[in-house]
Amino acid sequence: MISSVKGGIGIRRFTFSSSKLKTMQIDSTKGSRENTDQTGSSRKWPQWAQALRNVAIHPEKYKDKVLQATDEAVVFPDLYPKGKKHVLVISRWDGLDRLADVGKEHLSLLQNMHKLGEDWITCFLNEDPSLIFRLGYHSVPSMRQLHLHVISQDFDSTCLKNAKHWNSFNSSFFQDSKKVLTELESHGKVTTCSKEEEARLLNSPLSCHRCKSIHKVITHLKDHIQKCTLPFPSELIPYTYSSSLSAY
Ligand code: AMP
């Protein structure tokens, strides 16, 4: 058994045993860089896009950074956080790289990943009750190995540098985890963006996520969001997590 690791916020831990790793879905010897989704279209992944997969295969190699590991998923800090708190819940299921690969058989996995994300939000809110969170997937991820973003909505980060960064978390390119679960339950699959839709969403005008005001450049938007005090949009409230909005 890998020993528990105590961290600052209480649930930094490994909860899997090394013997169980043998029965996991991931076969590290495969090292496949290509996969095919339900529509039959295949995608090749460049070397730099493998980092999260490496963590999922061998979380024990990243013990100093891994926040939590179960048989199904690893919770890992985003290396380039786009908010004060930004972690990834990475699935350990082999061959599951993006929402387009997900089928009904993965429903329980995605439910468990959602639950892990919620647990971490609870911890973060204990540390700082002023934060607001969302849980979701990028419709078309840049990194392979299905991962759920747990991200605070302050977007107070030097790593958030351009319109694509902003729009990837503040347009329908960011697919809310609860909506994904509902769609998967009723349709057995999740609809994701086409190439054209992806380009349109990521190049959209820069709009404040609270008051919807438009800003010409990312620096202006970042200045604005420090000051904007409008409540979070009502249509997003069922999908936001905070100590004052009860979304649980
Ligand atoms: P996505 O667009 O959903 O694939 O997002 C990938 C996320 O992984 C981004 O938020 C990146 O900041 C993050 N990232 C990139 N490289 C690493 C890494 N080596 N370790 C942890 N997170 C990373």
pLDDT tens, N- to C-terminus, the chain (248 residues): 233 333 334 444 555 433 333 234 444 433 444 555 554 456 789 999 999 999 999 999 999 999 999 999 999 999 999 999 999 999 999 999 999 999 999 999 999 999 999 999 999 999 999 999 999 999 999 999 999 999 999 999 999 999 999 999 999 999 999 999 999 999 999 999 999 999 999 999 999 999 999 999 999 999 999 999 999 899 999 999 999 865 44
Closest residue (by CA) to atom 20 of ligand 1? 79
Q: How far is the centre of ligand 1, averaged over its atoms, from the C-alpha of 102 (Å)?
A: 19
pLDDT value, residue 2:
33
Structure tokens at 89: 């819940």
Who's near 104: CB < 8 A, 6+ residues apart? 184, 188, 189
pLDDT value, residue 44:
86
Ligand 1 neighbour 38 (Cβ under 6 A): no
Ligand 1 neighbour 54 (Cβ under 6 A): no
Q: For residue 148, which amino acid is it? A: L
pLDDT value, residue 99:
98
pLDDT value, residue 43:
72
pLDDT value, residue 37:
54
pTM of the model: 0.88
Spatial separation of the C-alpha atoms in residues 59 and 241, rounded to whole Å:
28
CB 226 within 8 A of CB 246: no
- Residue 76 CA: nearest ligand 1 atom is 21
Decide if 147 is catalytic: yes
Instruction: Name residue 77's beta-bridge partners.
Output: 87
Spatial separation of the C-alpha atoms in residues 55 and 211, rounded to whole Å:
38
Structure tokens at 64: 């100093």
Ligand 1 neighbour 37 (Cβ under 6 A): no
Spatial separation of the C-alpha atoms in residues 91 and 109, rounded to whole Å:
8
